[in-house]
Chain A
Amino acid sequence: MMNDIRMVDDLESLFRAHHGRLVRALTVACGNEQIAADAVQVAFVKAHLKWRSIMSYDDPVGWIRRVAINNMRDEHRRESRKQRVVDRLGAEPEVQVQAPQLDEVAAMLAGLPRQQRLSLALFYVDGLSVAETAATLGISEGAVKFHLHQGRSTLRGQLGEGVHHE
C-alpha cells in the first residue's frame, strides 16, 4: 500500500483512489455521511493548498486521513458546544432535524466509545493494517488491538448469532 501511495504523484489520482473509502470509513465512525464528507473534503483542500510539501511526505494519504479525522472531531466538539448552549438557555432548537433511522448495527456502533469506532472503521472499512491504524490515531498497536477486540466482542455479543450467519 505504501508503494502505491508513493507512485501517486498528483492529487487528483490520489483523490480518486482514496476519497470514497475515507468518506465511508468516517461515516461509520461518526454516523453522519454529510459530516464525514465535509471533513474529508476540507482535508483534501488543505492538502491541495500545500501539496508541494505534502507530496514529499512518506505517506501523504496518512496526513490527509489524520486531518480529516481532526476535522471530524472539531465538528463534533462544535456541535456539542452548540447543544450545551441551547440546553443552558432552555430554548428549542430552531430546526428539528429528523434523525435517520439507524439499523441495528449502526445503533450498536453509536454506543461504542469513539476510539473503538474509529479503530473498527479504519480497520474494516478503510482497509488499514493494525500498524497503519495505530499511526493514524496516534496510539500504539497494542491499543488498536485492544480497541478492535473490545469493539468486535461488543458487536458480536449484542448482535448474537445474527452477525455470524448473515
Chain B
Amino acid sequence: MNDFNDSVLRDQLQRLGGHGPDEAGAYLALQQRVGVAKRRRAAAVVGGLGVTLMIGFAAAAYQPPTSSRLVPANGGGNDAVVTLPTTASNADTTSSSTAISTPTINGNTGNTGNTDSSAPQTGTDSTSPSPIDVPATTAHTVPHGDATTSAPATTTAPTVPATTSTEPSSTAPSSTVPSTSSSVPTNFTEDASASSSGGAATVHLQGGVLSLVSYSATADHACVVERTLSDRVRITCRPTLLNIFGNTSHLDFSIGLDGHLVAVSTET
C-alpha cells in the first residue's frame, strides 16, 4: 500500500476529477428519477395484471363448439310421439304401451307422449318411429344448455313378462336387469336410463339393437357420445373449464347375456 502512496499523483488525479456535482441538486434529481421509475414499475404491474385477467376471462369463457345434434332417424317432426308396443308373446303381461318423449331438435322441446292403451299387441312396432340412432364413428358433444332433451331420467319398465320386469336403477354406480327369463323374445323392447354427476342418458333396446334416445349434461359438464354400437353405447361427461374440481363420468349401456339392458355409471 505504501508503495503506491503518491500524494502528487493523487492531487493531480483529484484535480482532474473536478469539483464534483452539486449534492443537493443531484439528490433532487435522484428523487425525481426514482419517482418516474416507481410510476413506470406500477404501470407495468397493473398492465401485467390486466393482461393476465383478460387471458383468464378469455380462457374461462371459451367453450368448445358443438359438433352435431341429435336428429331423428326418420326425419320426423319435433312432436313425434314414440309408442312402444308391448310384446304379445306373453298373455300375462299387462297391455300397456310406453310413450316416451322425443329429444328436442334445435332447441324445441318434444311433446310428452300419451299412454296409448289401444296400442297393438301384435309385437310389431310398425307404428312407432324408430328411435334415434347416432352414427358410431361420430362424437357428439352436448354442452350444458344445448341439449334440452326432455326424456325422463327414470327407467321405463321393460315390456317383457312380469317376472322379468325389474327396473334397472337409474342411479349410479350400476344397475342391471336380472336375468330370470331364459329366453328373450325377438321383438323385446326395453328402455334404460342412467345418470351421474355429469349427466344422464336414455337408451332404447329393440330387437337386440341398442339406440341412444337422449342424453343431457348437468351444469358445468359437457357430454360426448363416445361409442354407439348395436350392442354398446358409451357416453362420457367431462367437467368444463369452469368446473375444475368436477369428475369425469361414463355412462355405459350394453346388452347382457340374458338379452336385457345393462346400464353402468362410473365416475373417475
The verdict on A57 contacting chain B, using a C-beta distance below 8 Å, is no
Q: How far is the CA of A152 from the CA of B12 in the complex (A)?
A: 12
Which bracket fits the contact residues of B?
A: 20 to 34
Interface string of B1-43 (1 = CB under 8 A from A): 1011010111111111110110100110110011001100100
B16 touches A130 (CB 8 A): no
Q: Cα distance A12–B27 when bound, in Å?
A: 8
- Give the CA-CA distance A25 to B17 in the complex, in Å: 6
Cβ B38 vs Cβ A23 within 8 A: no
Give CA–CA (A20, B8) in the complex, Å: 21
**B17 x A123 contact (CB < 8 A):** no
> Which residue in chain B gives the minimum CB-CB distance to A27?
B17
Q: Which size class do A's interface residues fall under?
A: 35 or more
Cβ contacts under 8 Å, A12 to chain B: 27
A45: Cβ under 8 A from any B Cβ: yes
Q: Is A149 an interface residue (CB 8 A)?
A: yes
Contacts known (A12-B27, A41-B30, A48-B34); A148 close to B13, Cβ less than 8 A: no
Q: Are A152 and B9 in contact, with the CB atoms below 8 A?
A: yes
Residue of B nearest to A41 (CB): B30
B20 touches A21 (CB 8 A): yes
| Binary CB contact string for chain A from 1 to 43 against chain B (1 if under 8 A, 0 otherwise) | 0000000000010011001110111011000010001000110
Say which residue of B17, B34, B38 sits within 8 Å of A125 (CB atoms). Answer: B17
Known A37-B21, A45-B33, A120-B13; 17 more pairs at CB < 8 Å:
A19-B21, A23-B21, A24-B14, A24-B18, A24-B20, A27-B17, A28-B13, A41-B26, A45-B30, A49-B34, A49-B38, A106-B16, A109-B13, A121-B17, A124-B9, A149-B4, A156-B9
B-side residues, CB < 8 A to A, are 1, 3-4, 6, 8-18, 20-21, 23, 26-27, 29-30, 33-34, 37-38, 41
Q: Can you list 20 A-B contacts with CB-CB less than 8 angstroms, sorted by A residue number?
A: A15-B27, A15-B30, A19-B26, A20-B20, A21-B20, A24-B14, A24-B17, A24-B18, A25-B17, A28-B13, A28-B17, A41-B26, A44-B30, A48-B30, A105-B15, A105-B16, A109-B13, A125-B14, A130-B4, A163-B12
